[in-house]
C-alpha cells in the first residue's frame, strides 16, 4: 500500500529508511548494494551492517544525495547537528561515523575516511544494581517468561542479542553451561548455567512450550524482539521502585561486579563476558566492593605461617 506525502510523491507504508533511500536517492541503490556485499565478504556482523547501513541511508535521505558525492563540510555539518541535538543517542553518532569510514574506505575515498571525527569514549563507570535490587527485580516480576528472561540476563551476563537469539538446544543442563553462538566479534563461548535458573527454565518449558528459540517472539519461528526485552526490563525496574537508570546491560554489569565481589578472578570473568581484551574487564575493579587483602610473603605460606 502506498501513501501520498505532502509534496505529492508516494511512499510505501512501513517502508524502511534504507528502502526509502534506495528508491528516492539517485545512485544510492548501487552504493548500498556494494556496501552490503563488501561488509558481508569481510564477515562483518549483521548488527554492524544494519546499524551502519541505516546511518548512511539517513544521510542520503537527509541530503537527497549519495553520501559518496557529499563534501566533507556537508558531512561535518550533519555530524555537528547530531551532537548538538539531544535526541540522537551516542551510539547512533558512533554508528554514523563508523559507517561513513567504512563506506569511504570501500570506495577508495581514504582521505575522507581520515577526516572523520574521532570517537571518544567517556570514562564513566557503568550502572550496577546491588544484590538486594536484583532480588527485588525478580520478586516483582510475576510473568514467568519475563522473570526467566531477567534471571538469564543476570545469572549468565549475556548481552541482549545473545539472550534473545538463544535456542533451546543451546542449554546444556548436563554440563551446566549455556552455549553462546556467534556472540560479539562472531565468537562462540560457554557461560555458566545457574542451578536456580535451570529450575525456572524447566517450569517455563512445561508451561510455555517454546519452539526453537528459548524466547519466541510474536512471529512464529522468530526470537523475541529487542524492544520487547527492553520493555520487560523497564517495567520490572519501575515495579521494583529502582531509581537507577537500569537497562539490559545493567544486569550484565551487575553479573560481572557480583562475581568479582564473590572472589572470582578477572580472567574468568573476562571469558564469561566474552571480552576480547582484559582491559575492558578491568573497569569492574573500580566498582566492586572488594576488601583489600594483606600481602604476605609466599615463603611464609610454604610452611603454613
Cα(132)–Cα(137) distance, integer angstroms: 9
Active site residue 284: yes
Question: Where along the chain do the CATH 1.10.443.10 domains lie?
Answer: 131-286
Distances (CA, A) of 128 to 100, 102, 177, 242: 33, 34, 24, 11
Is the per-residue pLDDT at 39 higher than 60? Answer: yes
pLDDT of residue 4: 46
Task: Catalytic residue, from 101, 112, 147, 252: name it.
Answer: 252
pLDDT digits (tens, 9 = 90+) for 115-141: 998 887 666 788 999 999 999 999 999
pLDDT of residue 83: 81
Active site residue 101: no
Task: Catalytic residue, from 11, 159, 179, 239: name it.
Answer: 159
pLDDT of residue 302: 73
Active site residue 275: yes
pLDDT of residue 289: 81
Specify the DSSP class assigned to residue 15: -
Question: Where along the chain do the CATH 1.10.150 domains lie?
Answer: 10-114
Task: Catalytic residue, from 23, 105, 184, 239: name it.
Answer: 184
**Assigned fold of 131-286:** hpI Integrase; Chain A (1.10.443)
CATH code linked to domain 10-114: 1.10.150
Query: Among 9-18, 77-86, 211-220, which range has the highest average pLDDT?
Result: 211-220
Is the per-residue pLDDT at 159 higher than 80? Answer: yes
Active site residue 249: yes
Cα(302)–Cα(305) distance, integer angstroms: 8
% residues pLDDT > 70 (the chain)? 90
Is the per-residue pLDDT at 86 higher than 50? Answer: yes
Cα(304)–Cα(297) distance, integer angstroms: 11
Strands 189-192 and 177-180: antiparallel
pTM of the model: 0.66
Task: Catalytic residue, from 11, 105, 181, 275: name it.
Answer: 275
56 CB-contact burial (10 Å; exposed 0-12 / middle 13-18 / buried 19+):
buried
pLDDT digits (tens, 9 = 90+) for 196-254: 999 999 999 999 999 899 999 888 788 999 899 999 999 999 999 999 999 999 999 99
pLDDT of residue 175: 94
- Between these two residues, 3 and 276, which has the higher pLDDT value? 276
Is the per-residue pLDDT at 282 higher than 80? Answer: yes
Give the orientation angle of helix 17-24 with respect to helix 46-63, to 10 degrees. Answer: 50
Half-sphere exposure of 257 (CA within 13 A, CB side): 21
Is the per-residue pLDDT at 7 higher than 60? Answer: no
Amino acid at each position: 500500500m502506498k501513501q501520498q506525502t505532502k509534496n505529492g510523491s508516494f511512499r510505501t507504508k512501513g517502508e524502511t529508511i534504507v528502502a526509502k533511500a534506495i528508491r528516492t536517492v539517485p545512485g544510492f541503490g548501487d552504493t548500498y548494494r556494494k556496501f552490503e556485499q563488501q561488509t558481508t565478504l569481510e564477515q562483518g556482523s549483521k548488527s554492524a551492517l544494519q546499524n551502519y547501513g541505516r546511518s548512511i541511508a539517513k544521510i542520503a535521505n537527509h541530503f537527497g544525495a549519495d553520501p559518496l558525492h557529499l563534501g566533507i563540510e556537508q558531512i561535518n555539518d550533519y555530524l555537528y547537528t547530531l551532537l548538538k541535538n539531544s535526541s540522537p543517542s551516542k551510539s547512533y553518532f558512533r554508528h554514523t561515523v563508523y559507517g561513513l569510514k567504512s563506506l569511504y574506505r570501500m570506495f577508495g575515498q581514504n582521505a575522507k575516511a581520515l577526516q572523520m571525527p574521532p570517537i571518544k569514549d567517556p570514562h564513566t563507570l557503568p550502572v550496577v544494581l546491588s544484590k538486594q535490587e536484583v532480588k527485588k527485580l525478580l520478586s516483582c516480576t510475576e510473568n514467568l517468561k519475563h522473570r526467566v528472561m531477567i534471571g538469564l540476563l543476570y545469572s549468565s551476563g549475556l548481552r541482549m542479542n545473545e539472550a534473545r537469539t538463544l535456542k533451546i538446544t543451546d542449554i546444556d543442563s548436563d554440563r551446566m553451561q549455556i552455549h553462546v553462538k556467534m556472540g560479539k566479534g562472531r565468537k562462540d563461548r560457554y557461560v555458566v548455567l545457574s542451578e536456580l535458573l535451570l529450575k525456572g527454565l524447566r517450569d517455563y518449558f512445561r508451561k510455555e512450550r517454546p519452539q526453537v528459540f528459548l524466547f519466541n517472539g510474536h512471529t512464529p519461528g522468530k526470537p523475541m524482539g529487542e524492544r520487547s526485552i527492553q520493555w520487560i526490563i523497564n517495567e520490572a525496574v519501575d515495579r521494583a521502585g529502582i531509581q537507577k537508570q537500569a537497562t539490559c546491560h545493567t544486569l550484565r554489569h551487575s553479573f560481572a561486579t557480583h562475581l568479582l565481589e564473590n572472589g572470582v578472578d578477572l580472567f574468568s570473568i573476562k571469558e564469561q563476558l566474552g571480552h576480547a581484551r582484559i582491559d575492558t574487564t578491568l573497569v569492574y575493579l573500580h566498582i566492586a566492593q572488594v576488601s583489600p587483602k594483606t600481602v604476605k610473603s609466599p615463603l611464609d605460606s610454604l610452611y603454613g605461617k
